[in-house]
Amino acid sequence: MSVSTHLLPNATSRQDKNHTAPSRPVVIVIFGASGDLTQRKLAPALHTLASQRLLPERYAVLGVARSPLSDEAFRAQLREGVAANARVKPDERLPWETFANKLSYLSIGYEDRDSYQLLAQRLAALSAELGSDNVLFYLSTPPQLYQPIVAHLGAAGLAASESGWRRIVIEKPFGHDLASARALNAAVHEVFDEEQIYRIDHYLGKETVQNLLVLRFANAIFEPLWNRNYVNSVQITVAESVGVGKRGGYYDQAGVVRDMIQNHALQLLTLSAMEPPVALNATALRNEKVKVLEALRSTEPREAGACSVRAQYRAKNGPTYRREEGVDPRSETATYAALKLFVDNWRWQGVPFYVRSGKLLKTKTTEIVVRFKRVPHLMFAKDYASIRPPNSLNICIQPDEGIHLTFNTKLPGAGMRTQTVDMTFQYESDFGDELPEAYERLLLDTLQGDASLFARSDEIELSWQVVDPILQGWEQGLAPLAFYEPGSWGPREADELLARDGAVWMSGCAQF
């Protein structure tokens, strides 16, 4: 049963700063320009922004990578990426040539000092052409190159300018554990100030993730209930239906905790649990997120077995992680994890936050389910005496973006039987338009100098501090590796983790 929403007239204008093009010219330098991310995300996002006139009037994109490529070949490569992946296709709203003319390429050795002199010359020429010296560096290379690139940029004097701004975007993974994240932060801080650094987590660029802030802090009805007095538990699911594909080499070193939980899932948790920030700016927002991470109960490696489950996909006659290309046939890397976490503060004392993520699961869905407590005394027949409580708020981050609130009603007819119904808001039916891609929003924010949706150094280190002991426990064999069928919801052990608390996983969005 479903009760729908529809849009009410809104007095505020939809034109905010994020719908306005930054006015100052800029050069965007992409390190790793011949790589997959540039093809799939960066070039498509830039092209869509350009098509919507959301980039400054004067801009240039300089691709930098090792492969020797002519400007023409680079443009042709990006055209393919844009045609395959962009929301706005070449020539749809903007002649491809107009965009292509902004693109150029420079082949460099990432660890070769002379290459950075060449880069400096090229930047000087581009800046002179554009009449401004604003430069955005985007690191989309393998992570082991981040430190050398940053050091070379510093040594070549490219991290600062007298007449413009310099900013740097750093892709995930930011570190491999707490120690390496600290070392990377320290190395980047040697060259760039914190205000110049944008550590990207593309989940923060998703519309529905940003909407968490609006849902919680632009409505008076949820906040009074958003605490231990009314909330039974919170579940965060980041499920993928794809396997590791061609990324086996990378993934086998990373695993699900480093790939999805330390960053994306913990970002969802902090936004769900944080206190209201005093203002919508990078400092206020990130201060509140940091407080949640500080309050996350620290575990000891020896407790890993009690608060986590790790598993791998394995099928008798089907996809099996250990048989994937680039994966060690005896690999112990987890492709699925479930964690039970607690936020030790006044608001959340005693409320479990269950977090799970995995590859090759039943369906792709990212969702947050806030389960409310049952009524203290029920005078009706216990029709719903099942383990599911009647009240939950299901925030569907993707792919069926929307929000569902469930509550009990009287089943029509004789007697007083109850039935749980669902009140629904869906982006597609209410807003129609296709949602912007996360990278579009985040790239625009970097150009506007708004770091609200990027991770600060302390945030990154604290999130590693949360997962490090669990990973250590796993490495010490303190949580046995479980297995799950591809296409399932994960291993039996993950159900047992919740069953011990009398709970079940709710794939809320899939059930509506």
Rounded Cα–Cα distance for residues 124 and 299 (Å): 51
Rounded Cα–Cα distance for residues 329 and 319 (Å): 13
Which positions from 206 through 265 interact with ligand BG6, judged by CB under 6 A?
A: 240, 259
By the rule CB under 6 A, 437 interacts with ligand BG6: no
- Whose Cβ is closer to ligand BG6: residue 34's or residue 267's? 267
- Whose Cβ is closer to ligand BG6: residue 153's or residue 169's? 169
- Whose Cβ is closer to ligand BG6: residue 30's or residue 191's? 30
Residue showing the smallest CB distance to ligand BG6 in the complex: 259
Number of residues that bind ligand BG6 (CB under 6 A): 2
- 69-88 footprint of ligand BG6 as x/- string (CB under 6 A): --------------------
By the rule CB under 6 A, 440 interacts with ligand BG6: no
Please give the structure tokens belonging to residue 309: 């489950």
Neighbours of 69 (CB within 10 A): 18
Least gap, CB of 173 to ligand BG6 (angstroms): 8
Contacts with 108 (C-beta within 8 Å, 6 or more apart), sequence order: 64, 65, 66, 115, 116, 118, 119
- Whose Cβ is closer to ligand BG6: residue 259's or residue 493's? 259
Backbone angles phi, psi at 425, to 5 degrees: -120, 130
Least gap, CB of 254 to ligand BG6 (angstroms): 8
Pairing state between β 402-410 and 336-342? unpaired
DSSP class of 262: I
Neighbours of 34 (CB within 10 A): 20
Whether the CB-CB separation of 360 and 319 falls below 8 Å is answered with yes
Q: Is 189 among the catalytic positions?
A: no
Whether the CB-CB separation of 100 and 61 falls below 8 Å is answered with no
Neighbours of 423 (CB within 10 A): 15
Would you mind telling me the total number of residues written for the chain in this entry? 512
Whether the CB-CB separation of 151 and 190 falls below 8 Å is answered with yes
Choice among 47, 152, 176, 264 that is catalytic = 264
Least gap, CB of 240 to ligand BG6 (angstroms): 6
- Whose Cβ is closer to ligand BG6: residue 149's or residue 209's? 209
How many distinct helices (H) and strands (E) make up the chain?
Answer: 17, 16
Least gap, CB of 11 to ligand BG6 (angstroms): 33
Least gap, CB of 218 to ligand BG6 (angstroms): 25
By the rule CB under 6 A, 401 interacts with ligand BG6: no
Contacts with 511 (C-beta within 8 Å, 6 or more apart), sequence order: none
- Whose Cβ is closer to ligand BG6: residue 398's or residue 406's? 398
Least gap, CB of 253 to ligand BG6 (angstroms): 12
Q: Which residues bind ligand BG6 (CB under 6 A)?
A: 240, 259
Residues annotated as catalytic are 264
